[in-house]
Amino acid sequence: MDKRTHDKNRHTIPPAEKIIALAGNPNVGKSTIFNSLTGLNQHTGNWPGKTVSNARGKYTYENQTYTLVDLPGTYSLMAHSAEEEVARDFLCFDYPDAVVIVVDATCLERNLNLVLQTMEICPQTILCVNLLDEAAKKHITVNLPELEEQLGIPVVGAAARNGKGLEELMAAIAHITQSNQKAAPLKIPYLEPLETAINMLTPAIEYHIQGLNSRWIALQLLGDDKILWEKIAVLAGEDFRKDPTFAPLLAQANDLLTAEKISLDARKDMITAAYISKGEQIYHETVTISNENYAKFDRKLDKILTSKTWGIPMMILLLGIIFWLTIVGANYPSQLLSKFFFSAENWLLSIANTSNLPLWFTDLFICGVFRTLGWVISVMLPPMAIFFPLFTLLEDLGYLPRLAFNLDKLFKECHACGKQALTIC
């Protein structure tokens, strides 16, 4: 039986279609690739039980239909936010036939963290190195064959805005989903105590559950991710942590780490450090920068905008300016729009009186609908027309990630993350 038939969220997708997950960090061109491949053949909605939106679309390549699922943009799969949880759960429990991870060629080192995490969950992974045209402008060269050799997965270069690399990407997806050859992605090495504990658990895990990477499940067990474990137990049909043959192994692995003074938080730090360390190594071996000073100005900005001394004051100043422009600046266009709509209302009333229109018609459509419309547009449109372009400008200039970084520590104190600062703003 096709394991996909067990998934209640995928009953609308015919088994003949191939399901491709599209993952990546925010602002790497993921949506551009999604829109280019699916065109108008797409729809949006919300993930079950979440307010996080999703987009699904279809495209056909060599007489095969593919359903492309655009996952929320995330920097990690550690599930510190709803977006990360949605992306991780889809990769774990919705059985995509392949995963395409889109990365930014101009900042590959940061993007590799998500790539390495995804490869541990889904071996059938394709890496799409996007924005190669922007990388060329900054004198950055990515050795794609070497990157493919290092990661052990197919790598495709692209400049999606110009339509370059999309044909090669579709060919890579077709190959990985239709060939019988199993992928052999890079196995992330962890520090010795953690690696020993993982190896103690993986044989028993493979006995109890199939379809998920046993090393990855071992990491979740040792990291004590209770929410994720509940979902894994449902998939396995049992909580095999309590199995008489498995429970002693888990206890022995935890005792080993405890004896090495490796707490739960330390284990999570070790896992994260392994991803970052391996990502740095691969980056330095596959990326060449001809102009080492290309990011010099950004580094200077970072020292000011994210420093302990000036980061918060600069943030308050910038947000204060935007707030002032939004509130005070909106008064002038609001007054102009208000005058326009009330002049138009008086003109419509004079026409209604001249035409002897019924009083109920005048009250309903002119004094009611039109007047309300005029008030809403006069009051709401100017602030929105000022606020959103200004925030878009801050995002394009790269300040919003710095804002999230500045507030991340404060937000973590209340069990949130820095990205939620944007919602507060």
> Which residues are registered as beta bridge partners of 52?
none
User: Among 160-164, 231-235, 258-262, 351-355, which stretch is predicted with the lowest mean pLDDT?
Assistant: 231-235
Residues 111, 302: Cα–Cα separation, whole Å: 19
CA-to-CA dists, residue 104 to 25, 166, 171, 249, angstroms: 8, 15, 21, 41
What band does 294 get if pLDDT is binned at 50, 70 and 90? Answer: low
Of 306 and 47, which is predicted with more confidence? 306
Predicted pLDDT of residue 43:
66
Summarised one tens digit per residue, pLDDT across range 114-159 is 999 999 888 899 999 999 998 998 889 999 999 999 999 999 999 9
First to last CA, the chain: 49
Residue % of the chain over a pLDDT of 90? 33
Kindly indicate the confidence band of residue 5, based on its pLDDT and cuts at 50, 70 and 90.
very low
Indicate whether 261 pLDDT > 80: yes
Per-residue pLDDT for 298 more than 80? no
The larger pLDDT score, comparing residue 229 to residue 308, is at 308
pLDDT tier at 303 (50, 70, 90 boundaries)?
confident
pLDDT at 48: 60
Measured distance CA(70)–CA(63) in Å, rounded:
22
- Tell me which of 122-136, 162-176, 190-204 is least confident: 190-204
Distance CA 271, CA 264 (A): 11
Is the pLDDT score of 19 beyond 90?
Answer: yes
Question: What is the average pLDDT value for the chain, to the nearest integer?
Answer: 84
Q: pLDDT (tens digit, 9 = 90+) per residue, 32-90?
A: 999 999 887 666 665 565 556 678 899 999 889 999 999 988 888 876 677 888 888 88
Q: Minimal CA–CA distance to 144: which of 160, 163, 162, 158?
A: 158
Q: Is 339 exposed, middle or buried (0-12, 13-18, 19+ CB in 10 A)?
A: exposed
The amino acid occupying position 95 is Y
The C-alpha angle 334, 336, 338, rounded to 5 degrees, equals 65
Given a contact cutoff of 8 angstroms between Cβ atoms, the answer to whether 32 and 19 are in contact is no
Decide if pLDDT at 330 tops 60: yes
pLDDT digits (tens, 9 = 90+) for 93-119: 888 999 999 999 988 998 999 999 999
pLDDT at 172 over 90: yes
Q: Report the alpha-carbon distance of residue 34 to residue 41 in Å, rounded.
A: 11
Q: What is the pLDDT of residues 208-245, one digit of tens each?
A: 777 778 888 888 888 777 777 777 777 777 777 777 88
Who wins on pLDDT, 170 or 178?
A: 170
So what's the pLDDT on residue 22?
94
Question: What pLDDT score was predicted for residue 79?
Answer: 64
**Lowest mean pLDDT segment, chosen from 110-114, 283-287, 293-297:** 293-297
Assign 24 a pLDDT band (cuts: 50, 70, 90).
very high
